[in-house]
Amino acid sequence: MKKIVGLLFASCVLLTACGNPGGGSGGGSNKDTSKESDTIKIGLNLELSGAVAAYGNQEKEGAELAVAEINEKGGINGKKIELVIKDNKSDTAEAAAVAANLTTKENVVAIIGPATSGASKAQIPNVTKAKVPVITPSGTDDSITVLNDKVQEYIYRACFQDSFQGVILANYAMDNLKAKKAVVIGDVSSDYAKGLSTSFKDTFTGDIVADEKFNQKDKDFKAILTKIKDKDFDFIYLPGYYEEAGLIIKQAREMGIEQPILGADGFSDSKLIDVAGKDNMNGIYYTAHFSEKAPASDKVKQFIDAFDKKYNKKPSSFNALAYDSVYMFKEAIEKAGSADSEKITKELASLKDFDGVTGKMSMDKNHNPEKAAVVIGLKNGEEETADVVKP
Amino acid sequence: MNIFQQLINGLSLGSIYALLALGYTMVYGIIKLINFAHGEIYMIGAFVGYYVTNQFRLSLIPTLLISMTICAVLGVLIEFLAYRPLRKSTRIAALITAIGVSFLIQSLMIYFIGADTRPFPQIIENTNYDLKLFTISKIQLIILSTSIFLMILLQMIVRHTKMGKAMRAVSVDPDAAQLMGINVNHTISFTFAIGSSLAAAGGVLIGLYYNSIDPMMGVAPGLKAFIAAVFGGIGIIPGAALGGFVIGIIETLVSALGFTAYRDAVVYAILIIVLLVKPSGLLGKNVKEKV
């Protein structure tokens, strides 16, 4: 009996230990072969299956729409764009392996993705070695572009970063909701949520009456919620992704916790409403990159129509960000006059007043776009308010 | 902190673990196999419930019955295809096969229906009942009462039916049981059927409780239920039920004390302590193994 249990533990440990395939040994760049080809190969390294598959699939749609538009109008400098789409299974190690594969085997000139911060960071060593520029459409973690005060040379993003979101939400709570007492319920297993927590706490000047933590894949939050229920607070700050956030919102509202709940762009997925239930989605606020109600530029309407025509639905933030990412590469390639990875990288760094559907943006020296954010408020699962918040 | 409220939360969670742990413990009791595919049967149970309620708009009881029946058949099928050919092999061979079956079922589900989380249809209008000391929701009541009902039913089957007697006989000595005219294969199949149907019930109930199901949902509860079974004394039916409830309550209390991030670690630590102090589990008797 004892032996079997011991054996089992050993096997469990081994099984988990085996879960991480080596990050891929990409390196030797032989892109010269693709330089003279008549297409421009852009890689997509996206979460097409796994825990956050919803993000990846939406970005794939957005990117495909942009590429279809560009190719229809004759491509970039007369060359058509060819997308090389790979699934990283929402796994950080897999994301690194995909990046190695895209840069060494597929010889892409640029990469879009992954959608999440952890996966985006995991691919940095491989793309840096291969000197291929990357735009992550929605990786908001600050340390993606700047690590230990050093700007990552080949990494850019199309979205704002976590520290910015945390600041916006703290200000929104204080200014728009006039709230003074916060409860923080934060995911401790993702860099994304940790970054959001830190910047919120640094900005919020009111009291934080409780600071609770949870892990990704948790399903039962009743213990935490029971604990905070009788405390005196004005709102819950909930940095996390939609799966857990949906469950927390559902369980909180069912227990009679009616205070507003604030979250970041990890909320912006319809699965959040599916899991939480429409009736429970009241007083939910989150930062978004894009809202139809608060169009950031004239291009938005044209984008919404085109998207609706192709997919028969309304575009989401993730659709819009990936769409913008493709156009950012287009502008960089046009300015560079060639699809050479190094030249594209240089042009991206000096991108100025780029007119995207998620707003007008210029790259700052840290490779983060300076742009406005939208805070969306939900009532019965429907978008009720959308306030543009300029940096 | 409202301790009674936390106990109710813990009991609701624990009753699901208990339902799962019963399957582990029965299978172990009868053929000394840790059926690692058990968590996946729980997941399939939840998905059958999902399709049945979505397609036919059935209420809870028919949904439970259909899901339990389908999973019972699946359990028997897995035993027949994967474990029976290995019955005379080493225990480790059967164990590794069980892990393999578990991964196979996960992968097949991801391949055919995708890895996305799905919302479970809300067939029960949830309301809260305020009982002064604590509030309990309708779904929590349903979970508690269904699992306690099923546990009592199981105990009746094992104690008072012919099949139950056969199960007990086979668990003591399969060869002797066979000599006494008991069909060992049928008895083992029956054990798998019952264990799997309990897991399916757990799956449907958890779908209803959390409103979110996905193909990987069986992994963590499967492991926790296994711990619960070992905790209570693997092979002992009341032990599994007790272990399930205890693990559920411990988890909830650890979260309530503010250590959510270390919840699983605490559960494992307690298991290790129990195994060090009383290796046969809470309700287990120390039996010397014959050499």
Q: Choose among A2, A5, A219: nearest Cβ to B210.
A: A219
Q: Please, are residues A59 and A324 in contact by the beta-carbon 8 Å criterion?
A: no
In 3D, which of A31, A175, A19, A8 has the Cα closest to residue A111? A31
Q: B107 in contact with A at a CB cutoff of 8 Å?
A: no
Domains of chain A, first to last: 39-160+295-371 (3.40.50.2300), 163-288 (3.40.50.2300)
Q: B258 in contact with A at a CB cutoff of 8 Å?
A: yes
Q: What is the pLDDT of residues A255-284, one digit of tens each?
A: 999 999 999 988 988 889 999 999 999 999
Token pair 């559920």 is at which residue? B248
pLDDT of A317 reads 86
- Give the separation between CA B237 and CA B229, rounded to whole angstroms: 9
Q: What is the pLDDT of residues A371-384, one digit of tens each?
A: 888 899 999 988 89
pLDDT of A325 reads 96
Q: B181 in contact with A at a CB cutoff of 8 Å?
A: no
pLDDT of A6 reads 54
pLDDT of A7 reads 53
Is residue A236 pLDDT above 90, yes or no? yes
CB contacts, 8 Å: B50 with chain A: none
Contact A1 B279 (CB under 8 A): yes
- Give percent of chain B with pLDDT exceeding 90: 76
Residues 88-107, chain A, touching B (beta carbon < 8 A): 90
Contact A223 B260 (CB under 8 A): yes
Q: Give the global pTM.
A: 0.78
Q: What is the pLDDT of residues A76-110, one digit of tens each?
A: 988 999 999 999 999 999 999 999 999 999 999 99
pLDDT of A26 reads 40
Q: A219 in contact with B at a CB cutoff of 8 Å?
A: yes
B103: closest chain A residue by CA: A15
pLDDT of A292 reads 80
Global ipTM: 0.86
Residues 136-175, chain B, touching A (beta carbon < 8 A): 137
Contact A223 B95 (CB under 8 A): no
Q: Could you name the CATH architecture of B3-125+132-277?
A: Orthogonal Bundle (1.10)
CB contacts, 8 Å: B116 with chain A: 53-54, 271
Q: Choose among A51, A213, A271: nearest Cβ to B261.
A: A213
Interface with A, mutate which of B34, B210, B234 (most A CBs under 10 A): B210
Strand, coil or helix: B286 = coil
Is residue A18 pLDDT above 60, yes or no? no
A243: closest chain B residue by CA: B117
Contact B116 A1 (CB under 8 A): no
Is residue A2 pLDDT above 70, yes or no? no
pLDDT of A230 reads 87
A190: closest chain B residue by CA: B261
B260: closest chain A residue by CA: A214
From A298's Cα to the closest Cα of chain B, the distance in A is 35
Contact A212 B260 (CB under 8 A): yes
Q: B274 in contact with A at a CB cutoff of 8 Å?
A: no
Mean pLDDT of B134-139: 90
pLDDT of A30 reads 46
Is residue A389 pLDDT above 90, yes or no? no
Is residue A17 pLDDT above 90, yes or no? no
Range in A47-51, A63-67, A232-236, B23-27 the model is least confident about? A47-51
Q: B251 in contact with A at a CB cutoff of 8 Å?
A: yes
Q: Choose among A11, A50, A226: nearest Cβ to B9.
A: A226
Domain map (residue ranges) of chain B: 3-125+132-277
Interface with B, mutate which of A211, A215, A219, A253 (most B CBs under 10 A): A219
Using pLDDT thresholds of 50, 70 and 90, give the confidence band for residue A3: low
pLDDT of A9 reads 53
Mean pLDDT of B64-72: 97
From B256's Cα to the closest Cα of chain A, the distance in A is 5
Q: Please, are residues A320 and A296 in contact by the beta-carbon 8 Å criterion?
A: no
A256: closest chain B residue by CA: B128
From B135's Cα to the closest Cα of chain A, the distance in A is 8
Using pLDDT thresholds of 50, 70 and 90, give the confidence band for residue B199: very high
Q: What is the pLDDT of residues B32-48, one digit of tens each?
A: 999 999 999 999 999 99
Contact B135 A224 (CB under 8 A): no
Q: Choose among A5, A246, A274: nearest Cβ to B275.
A: A5
Q: Choose among B211, B212, B256: nearest Cβ to A223.
A: B256
Mean pLDDT of B256-271: 88
- Give percent of chain B with pLDDT exceeding 70: 98
HEC string of chain A?
A: CHHHHHHHHHHHHHHHHHCCCCCCCCCCCCCHHHHCCCEEEEEEEECCCCCCHHHHHHHHHHHHHHHHHHHHCCCECCEEEEEEEEECCCCHHHHHHHHHHHHHHCCCCEEECCCCHHHHHHCHHHHHHHCCCEEECCCCCHHHCEECCEECCCEEECCCCHHHHHHHHHHHHHHCCCCCEEEEEEECCCHHHHHHHHHHHHHCCCEEEEEEEECCCCCCCHHHHHHHHCCCCCEEECCCCHHHHHHHHHHHHHCCCCCCEEECHHHCCHHHHHHHCHHHCCCEEEEECCCCCCCCCCHHHHHHHHHHHHHCCCCCHHHHHHHHHHHHHHHHHHHHCCCCHHHHHHHHHCCCCEEECCEEEEECCCCCEECCEEEEEEECCEEEEEEEECC
Mean pLDDT of B194-209: 96
Residues 87-106, chain B, touching A (beta carbon < 8 A): 91-92, 95, 99
Mean pLDDT of A359-367: 90
CB contacts, 8 Å: B291 with chain A: none
Residues 2-21, chain B, touching A (beta carbon < 8 A): 2, 5-6, 9-10, 12-13
Beta bridge partners of B213: B118
Is residue A41 pLDDT above 60, yes or no? yes
pLDDT of A4 reads 55
pLDDT of A11 reads 53
Average pLDDT, chain A: 87
Q: A80 in contact with B at a CB cutoff of 8 Å?
A: no
A250: closest chain B residue by CA: B210
Contact B1 A227 (CB under 8 A): yes
CB contacts, 8 Å: A215 with chain B: 260-261, 263
Is residue B197 pLDDT above 90, yes or no? yes
Q: What is the pLDDT of residues B227-258, one digit of tens each?
A: 999 999 988 999 999 999 999 999 999 998 88
Q: What is the pLDDT of residues A172-214, one digit of tens each?
A: 999 999 999 999 999 998 888 988 999 999 999 999 999 999 9
From A58's Cα to the closest Cα of chain B, the distance in A is 13
Q: What is the pLDDT of residues A276-331, one digit of tens each?
A: 999 999 999 999 888 888 776 778 889 999 999 999 998 988 999 999 999 999 99
How many residue pairs bridge chain A and chain B with CB atoms within 8 Å of each other? 110
Residues 325-354, chain A, touching B (beta carbon < 8 A): none
pLDDT of A359 reads 86
Average pLDDT, chain B: 92
Q: Choose among A12, A254, A271: nearest Cβ to B117.
A: A271
